[in-house]
Amino acid sequence: MYNKDFIWGLKESQQRIEKGGNKKDGGPSPADGKKVKLKTAVDALYQSYKEIQKKRKKKISKHINRMDEDAYNFMKNEKLLYNSDSSDS
């Protein structure tokens, strides 16, 4: 899954390089080509890194929520929770 994001980032980078190298679009001169390639490659890597982090965060959040729910259900089943609804008078 994360590998797909990385490959997407590299493809995006390649498209930016190709667009940036086109003189008709006001792209950089050939002397700036290496700088553009480096910048877009780093940008693409950073974008794919952000996507990976977002997916990991979502996955971790789901896992933590499930653990919280399991712990709550366990405590409820074992009667370890204090019920404020019942009156103890």
Q: What is the C-alpha separation between 26 and 45, in angstroms, rounded? A: 25
Reference 6, options 70, 40, 57, 51; nearest CA is 51
| Residuewise pLDDT in 10s, the chain (89 residues) | 567 767 777 777 677 666 655 555 555 555 566 666 667 777 778 878 888 899 999 999 999 999 999 999 998 888 887 765 555 44
Measure the CA dihedral 25/26/27/32, to 10°: 170
**3-state SS, residue 70:** helix
Number of other residues whose CB lies within 10 A of the CB of residue 14: 14
pTM over 0.85: no
Distance CA 22, CA 33 (A): 10
